[in-house]
Amino acid sequence: MSILWDVKSQLTEKNFNKDFYDCMIAEYLLTYGQHLQTEEAVLKKYKVTTLEELAQKQQKAFEDVPEIYTLFKTIEMPLIPVLWKMENTGILLDTERLKEIGEQIDEKVITVKEDLIKQIGFDMNLNSPIQIGNYLAEKEGVPLKKTKTGKYSTNESELIQFSDQFPIIQKIIEYRGLAKLRSTYVDSLITKIDENGKVHTTYSQTAANTGRLASTNPNLQNIPVTSEFGQKIKSCFMAEKGKILLSFDYSQQELRILAHLTGEEKLITAFTEKQDVHKITASQIFNVKYDDVDKKQRSVGKTINFGIIYGMSSFGLSKSLSIPVEQAQIFIDTFYKTYPKIKEYYAQYFKKARIDTYVTTLLGRRRNIYEYPGQKFISNSMHRVLLNYPIQGSAADLMKKSMIDVYTNIVSKNENINLLLQIHDDLVFEVEEMEKKELDQLIKEIKHTMCSVYPLAVPVEVEVKIGNRWGEMQPYS
């Protein structure tokens, strides 16, 4: 066995099938996802000088937490070669189309900037947070908070809460969003392509304490899919000639995990009978029949469902829905009355967490509930994080297992298919064009594998899309 720090960075075609032990990932798991120290700092922490000695100490520590060692051996280590293959394969980027989109963004930026300057009444550097803050607070009367340095805070989370009251803020946010798209994706992506026109993102297994993978250099997980230009940028990623892209996206996976963890009968029944969970919540919130719920009400139900599992407070929900805090609290109270077992679950969950001083996912991943030694109370911000941890963390673990199973049972045995991207609950493959019957069979196998990674109390569903370009894929039937 080869013992290394960060195995993936040292993999090659020659040593791809060797047996490895990754001290970095072991330490990440043993410290319950806390900020990972450097190799030198970890060696010093264990009072050893070599990685071999470190591995021995870590394996001794694993004896006290066998479920975490199982996670290390069956999930994190087998995932390394899968990620390495994905990173090395890369995805083709249409740079000509990307340049055209960059020009379209530039035109839009000019239009938005002219509108803003016209509303403001004088020329201003729209890229200056200080000038923007001074103008909004002192000329428009926006009650902005001040930072520690005495300047007005103009980050998006601060501005967005006043966007309905002050329409100019919507324009400022739009301007910033366009400028960020231009620099972060258009300008940056063009510099990332290799000699074959492909982009190769890097996935990190140790960046998030939930176990979620992080994509960097470039980050392909954060392209804003709800914006017009975000979708256009996604459409620049494409399949090679003679190939197609297939997307397999877990449907409402986190809500399904919530139903499983809590045993809430109404949620379980909804998923089992293929009902619309967001409509069910909306029908209770607005006190209307399930079939009478309109699109706007369903949207509110969706916001509440996901808001609850992400630990959103009544204040946060009020900002999200643009309603009074009191109304938001009524919605939250109604949610828990509709699904009483969810409230019971969280009461027991936090009670156990305070005894154990950590929380866990379905597969045993852990996170400390206190942020520093000696702390005795869970802060409000940490409380919101912990609310979501068993759900988001479990979804991340099950996705990793899904990637391993799909790669081991299907991709590694079929030279006509490659796994290219993982975008949270979504896997994107590149497949050789083939007869529909053959394609149907391949899709069936991948779906079955993804839906069978863990026996949840509700059915697991995967939505499939197909197309030549990532941003233009359509549902497959």
Number of domains in the chain: 4
User: What whole-number distance in Å separates Cα of residue 352 and Cα of residue 233?
Assistant: 45
**Co-location of 10 and 52 in the same domain:** yes
Do 78 and 100 lie in one domain? The reply is no
Residue 219: inside a domain, yes or no?
Answer: no
pLDDT above 80 (res 311):
no
- Residue 309, pLDDT > 80, answer no
Token look-up 């305070």 returns: 354
Q: What pTM did the predictor assign?
A: 0.92
pLDDT score of 22 more than 90:
yes
Both 286 and 384 in one domain: the answer is: yes
Q: What confidence category does residue 320 fall into, taking pLDDT thresholds of 50, 70 and 90?
A: confident
Residue 14, pLDDT score: 86
DSSP structural state of residue 152: B
pLDDT for position 447: 97
**What tokens does 371 get?**
């942020």
Domain assignment present for residue 374? The answer is yes
For residue 318, give the nearest of 166, 170, 169, 164 by alpha carbon. 164
Which has more pLDDT, 120 or 313?
120
C-alpha–C-alpha distance, residues 196 and 92, integer Å = 8
Residue 60 and residue 113 share a domain: no
pLDDT at 413: 94
| Same domain (yes/no): 48, 122 | no
In whole angstroms, give the CA distance from residue 133 to residue 266: 47
In angstroms, what CA-CA distances link 438 with 215, 335, 450?
32, 45, 19
Largest CA distance in the chain: 69
Do the beta carbons of residue 211 and residue 361 sit within 8 Å?
yes
What integer pLDDT is reported at residue 372 of this predicted model?
A: 80
Whether residue 259 is contained in a domain is answered as: yes
Q: What is the pLDDT of residues 52-75, one digit of tens each?
A: 999 999 999 999 999 999 999 999
Domain co-membership, 380 together with 294: yes
Per-residue pLDDT tens digits for 380-398 = 888 888 989 999 999 999 9
Of 390, 420, 437, the residue at which a domain comes to its end is 390
**Domain assignment of residue 239, yes or no:** yes
260 and 386 in a single domain? The answer is yes
3-state secondary structure of 224: coil
Instruction: Say if residue 301 is in the same domain as residue 428.
Output: no
Is residue 98 within 8 Å of 186, Cβ to Cβ? yes
- In the three-class reduction of DSSP (H, G, I as helix; E, B as strand; rest coil), residue 427 is classed as strand
Note the pLDDT of residue 379.
83
**What pLDDT does 226 receive?**
80
Q: What is the mean pLDDT of residues 214-220?
A: 94
Place of tokens 């053959």: 438
Check if the beta carbon of residue 33 is closer than 8 Å to that of residue 14. no
DSSP 464: E
| Closest-CA residue to 112 (of 235, 237, 228) | 228
pLDDT at 230 over 80: yes
Whether residue 10 lies inside any domain: the answer is yes
Question: Using N-to-C axis directions, what is the helix angle for 380-409 and 77-89, rounded to 10°?
Answer: 80
Burial class (CB in 10 A: 0-12, 13-18, 19+), 248: buried
Higher pLDDT, 163 or 412: 412
Q: What digits encode the pLDDT tens for the residues 71-106?
A: 999 999 999 999 999 999 999 999 999 999 999 999
pLDDT at 42 over 80: yes
132 Cβ neighbours under 8 A, 6+ residues apart: 124, 126, 154, 172
Q: What is the CATH number of the domain that holds 159?
A: 1.20.1060.10
Peptide bond into 167 cis (omega under 30): no
288: amino acid identity, one letter: V
Among 358, 390, 422, which residue terminates a domain?
A: 390
Helix axes 23-30, 51-62, angle to 10 degrees: 40
Residue 468 has pLDDT above 80, yes or no: yes
- Domain span at 339: 255-390
CATH number of domain containing 340: 1.10.150.20
**Domain boundary, last residue among 390, 423, 450:** 390
Residue 374 pLDDT greater than 90, yes or no: no
404 in Cβ contact with 79 (< 8 Å) = yes
pLDDT band at 408 (very low <50, low <70, confident <90, very high): very high
Mean pLDDT (whole number) for 154-170: 86
Query: What does the pLDDT read at residue 83?
Result: 97
pLDDT above 70 as % of the chain: 100
Give a yes or no: residue 213 inside a domain.
no
Q: Which of 79-88, 95-104, 210-219, 370-379 is least confident?
A: 370-379
- Check whether residue 378 and residue 462 sit in a common domain: no
Q: How confident is the model at residue 419 (pLDDT cuts 50, 70, 90)?
A: very high
pLDDT tens digits, 134-144: 999 999 998 99
Q: Clarify whether residues 333 and 382 are in a common domain.
A: yes
Mean pLDDT of 455-476: 96
**Residue bearing tokens 């829905």:** 321
Residue 205 inside a domain? The answer is no
The band of 156, judged by pLDDT with boundaries at 50, 70 and 90, is confident
- Give yes or no: residues 385 and 272 share one domain: yes
In Å, how far from its chain's centre is CA 236? 21
Q: Is residue 141 part of a domain?
A: yes
Buried b (16+ CB within 10 A) or exposed e, 159-189: bebbbeeeebbebbebbbbbbebbebbbeeb
